[in-house]
Structure 1
Amino acid sequence: MTSSSPALILDCDGVLADTERDGHLVAFNQAFAEAGLDIEWSVAEYADLVKIGGGKERMRHYLQTHPEAGVAEADLDATVADLHRRKSQLYVELVEAGKLPGRAGVRRLIESALDAGWRVAVASTSAERSVEAVLRTAVGEATRSRMAGVWAGDIVAAKKPAPDIYLRALADLDQDPEMVVVVEDSESGARAAAAAGLRHIVTISSLTGDDSFPDAATVISNLGEPGAPAHYRAGLDVRDEDGLVTVSSLELILDKADRPWPQ
């Protein structure tokens, strides 16, 4: 039986924490160096690569289009697997060392939604171990234990911007898509949410300020904290009088029948 409870589903990277520039990029470059590869992605280069969903897919694309990196096609699968395994270890070490704190408003909104009877989950195409590490850092063990689950990694074949990870989460949760609000940070993630038919908020991250979000209910700087309001960018202004995204903001998005919203 389809759940009648509303659900909040959050992406991980760029949403729970601003992980791409200061986490994933650092770990990728360190893994390349340890493997003896003459590869060092710049921030600008990675901003383009991050539009490819999935770390393994990102590396595969780069190595296939940069033969000067010296990885033969016959060795590609094993090289990508080894690099990704080591990169994930390095990334989790960064998270567990406290290098990637949760973004403003994430813990506050998740706990408020849970207290109000919402189901809360995470849907990401990053590796599950990495997602769980970020989530526990962002919200704490007690709050994580109250959540409906994490959908991550290779449980779907097609990564974002394909909608598959969201469709899988909806199916497993038996969740009515008309009762869901997603939080994303990138064009790729927002396209995935839109393709799944889901209303979505975009909180801009360090690498996505120039992305396009034509179907987002609202585009803002972050979810806001008391004394540090979120900055409005486009769409509906669903912030409260203190500049925060709250459960009432989520309810307003669900109640708004007209889509797309004016940008």
Structure 2
Amino acid sequence: MTALVLDCDGVLADTERYGHLPAFNTTFERYGLPVRWSEDDYAVKLRIGGGKERMASLFDDPGFAAAAGVPDDEEGRRELLARWHRTKTEEFTRLVAQGRVPPRPGIARLVSAAVTGGWTVAVASTSAEPSVRAVLTTAVGAELAGRIPVFAGDVVPAKKPDPAVYELTVAELGLDRDDTLVVEDSRNGLLAATGAGLPCLVTVNGYTRSESFDEAVLVVSELGDPGRPPVEVLADRAGVAPGEQVELEDLRRCLRGRGTGGGR
């Protein structure tokens, strides 16, 4: 059984710049918190897997904790963080519903081709499940999204780069690791995929382009669509040699010629 497992943020849509960052800042403003993240600030925060975990990093600043009235006890902090994150998820979902978060090129085309071709397609993300489902529906349409299983949020205790979410996806769907290709956009995601023994194609974005992707089978600027500029191939360790856009046959070549990427 051939399978395609997709990350959400930065793969299904350009969510970080147009969705998550403004949703975090709106949440901070709504709660009167003394912080606003610039794009440069957020680029640093993206090294932390998970939205709640990024928010929790604010607690490391004693000045912020005092100004924001953060409780000293662990339970109080956990409840406060959960409340902030619920608000952030609601705001992010609103932005997606308003069409403010653009799907990435090639996603709808390739997901449709994979499902039609009999592939198992799933989404594995460390973002909150309501956010992931909203993005998936916007990216591929409600009918197709309803046929795609989603593993997201707190379904596993450890976030990427830990491979737990991919290990769970493989186990729950009964996937063959040698016939399962992951699409990621960041080094943390790549490490999570390869840590689970899965070959990985990386489609970079503005936040991640400069990261190291030495373990990836194929690294491209985007998946591409008709009418767009040809995709830029940044690394090709499996001899895939895609044309102007990445096609389903290119994904098959990623699996057949794993090169140096994807091994345990």
TM (norm. structure 2) is 0.93
Q: Deviations over 1:29-57 (max 9, x none)?
A: 11011111111011111111111111111
For residue 146 of structure 1, give the secondary structure of its aligned residue in structure 2.
Answer: coil
Paired position in structure 2 for 1:90: 91
Structure 2 residue corresponding to 1:40, chosen from 36, 39, 56: 36
CA displacement at 1:239 relative to structure 2 = 4.9
The 1:224–1:257 alpha-carbon spacing in structure 2 relative to 1, beyond 3 Å, is closer
Paired position in structure 2 for 1:59: 55
How far apart are the structure 2 equivalents of 1:160 and 1:142? 29
How far apart are the structure 1 equivalents of 2:95 and 2:247? 30
Percent identity reads 45
Paired position in structure 2 for 1:68: 63
How far apart are the structure 2 equivalents of 1:174 and 1:201? 21
How far apart are the structure 1 equivalents of 2:242 and 2:215? 22
For residue 146 of structure 2, give the secondary structure of its aligned residue in structure 1.
Answer: helix
Q: Does the 8 A contact of 1:239 with 1:246 survive in 2? A: no
CA displacement at 1:257 relative to structure 2 = 4.7
Please, which runs of 5 or more residues in structure 1 have no aligned partner? none
Paired position in structure 2 for 1:14: 10
Q: Does the 8 A contact of 1:10 with 1:184 survive in 2? A: yes
User: Which one-letter code corresponds to 1:27 in the other structure?
Assistant: A
Return 220-229 or 97-106, whichever deviates more. Answer: 220-229
CA displacement at 1:206 relative to structure 2 = 2.1
TM (norm. structure 1) is 0.93
Paired position in structure 2 for 1:165: 165
Q: Does the 8 A contact of 2:194 with 2:261 survive in 1? A: no
Q: Deviations over 1:181-204 (max 9, x none)?
A: 010001111110110111111111
How many residues are paired up? Answer: 254
Instruction: Calculate the aligned-residue CA RMSD, in Å.
Output: 1.3
How far apart are the structure 1 equivalents of 2:124 and 2:91? 22
How far apart are the structure 1 equivalents of 2:218 and 2:204? 11
Paired position in structure 1 for 2:153: 153
Paired position in structure 1 for 2:231: 230
How far apart are the structure 1 equivalents of 2:216 and 2:78? 36
How far apart are the structure 2 equivalents of 1:240 and 1:82? 45
Q: Deviations over 1:3-41 (max 9, x none)?
A: xx1000000000000101111010111101111111101
